[in-house]
Chains A and B, each alone.
Chain A
Amino acid sequence: DTGVSQDPRHKITKRGQNVTFRCDPISEHNRLYWYRQTLGQGPEFLTYFQNEAQLEKSRLLSDRFSAERPKGSFSTLEIQRTEQGDSAMYLCASSSPNGQGRRGAFFGQGTRLTVV
Chain B
Amino acid sequence: TQLLEQSPQFLSIQEGENLTVYCNSSSVFSSLQWYRQEPGEGPVLLVTVVTGGEVKKLKRLTFQFGDARKDSSLHITAAQPGDTGLYLCAGVGSGGGADGLTFGKGTHLIIQP
Contact = CB atoms under 8 A, between A and B. Distances in A.
B8 interface: no
Given A45-B96, A56-B96, A58-B96, A100 B42 contact: no
Contacts of A44: 103
B97 A100 contact: yes
A41 B105 contact: yes
Contact of A45 (B30, B31, B44, B101): B101
Residue from B95, B98, B102, B104 whose CB has the most chain A CB atoms within 10 Å: B98
Contacts of A4: 42
Nearest to B89: A42
Given A42-B103, A102-B48, A50 B98 contact: yes
A33 interface: yes
- Tier of interface size on chain A: 20 to 34
A110 interface: yes
A7 to B, nearest CB: 14
A27 interface: no
Given A107-B42, A107-B44, A109-B40, A42 B88 contact: yes
Nearest to A48: B97
A108 to B, nearest CB: 5
A103 B97 CA distance: 14
A104 B48 CA distance: 7
A35 B93 CA distance: 17
Contacts of B93: 101
Interface in B1-57: 4, 30-31, 33, 35, 40-45, 48
Interface of A: 4, 31, 33, 40-45, 48, 50, 55-56, 58, 91, 93, 95, 99-110, 112
